[in-house]
Amino acid sequence: MAGTDSTRAAIAAGGPAIILVRPQMGENIGAAARAMKNFGLGDLRLVAPRDGWPNEKARAMSSRADEIVDAARVYDTTAAAVADLQTVYATTARRREMQKPVLSPRQAAAEVRRRIGDGERTGILFGGEKAGLDNDDTTMAARIIQVPANPAFSSLNLGQAVLLLAYEWFQSGPPRSEGEGEAPSSPPATAAELAFFHARLEEELDRHGFLKPPEKSPGMMRNIRNVFQRADLTGQEVRTLHGIISSLIRRDGEES
């Protein structure tokens, strides 16, 4: 994995992370990197690229966006790729059972810029060319981005999708100047903090027999995680929820 931490920090300072989940073709990764450089984005993250990394086809297609390709970070899982982020968006053309706010690219870009201006770390998930994002990937997002397109042919090429979102980000306006806006007293919880809470909650729900029958457990937990994702919890609120679980565990122990 090429690129220094200082290089990554410098190019990632101005916008959301672009996270490509299980991308297949190096050419599409390169096209995404080129689109990012066109419109001032620099934080490229790859989840389990099919053909491995680094990829010379990606470099060739990036057309001199070498610094973005070199600084790309590779992760085994989507959860690891978003762990440090506080608000995650998922791009998908498919309707799902999950109840999440659905935004257009323009609406999402304006919201992302506002959140970044408030000091949040944000990211946008893009699915691979063949299957897109699966339900577990989408569960990690607080919001869905859908591109208004021909309903009979709504699937976009991966590079095109990144280009469209990057363009809307660039057009949404300059970043806030330092000190503009009021930082929240407690910043939003990171994806890693939420994941740890979800894991602890699942463990206790399973221990107390809530997740039954076993074959329905994954779907039940996805629904529960979506409830907390929609709540836009702060770090302090997640700590409070941990305190509630701890209190219930202590009481359970005293009564047994």
51 Cβ contact list (under 8 Å, min separation 6): 24, 25, 26, 57
Residue 93: its pLDDT value, please? Answer: 76
pTM for the whole thing?
0.80
Q: Give the bridge partners for 144, in sequence order.
A: 90, 102
Helices (H) and strands (E) in the chain, counts: 11, 7
Q: Tell me the one-letter amino acid at 213.
A: P
Strand 44-47 and strand 122-127: pairing? unpaired
Residue 252: its pLDDT value, please? Answer: 74
Strand 44-47 and strand 87-91: pairing? unpaired
Ordered per-residue pLDDT tens for the chain, 256 residues: 344 454 444 444 579 999 999 999 999 999 999 999 999 999 999 999 999 999 999 999 998 899 999 999 999 999 999 999 999 999 987 656 678 899 999 999 999 999 999 999 999 999 998 889 999 999 999 999 999 888 888 788 999 999 999 999 999 886 544 444 555 567 899 999 999 999 999 999 999 899 989 898 999 999 999 899 888 899 999 999 999 999 888 877 666 5
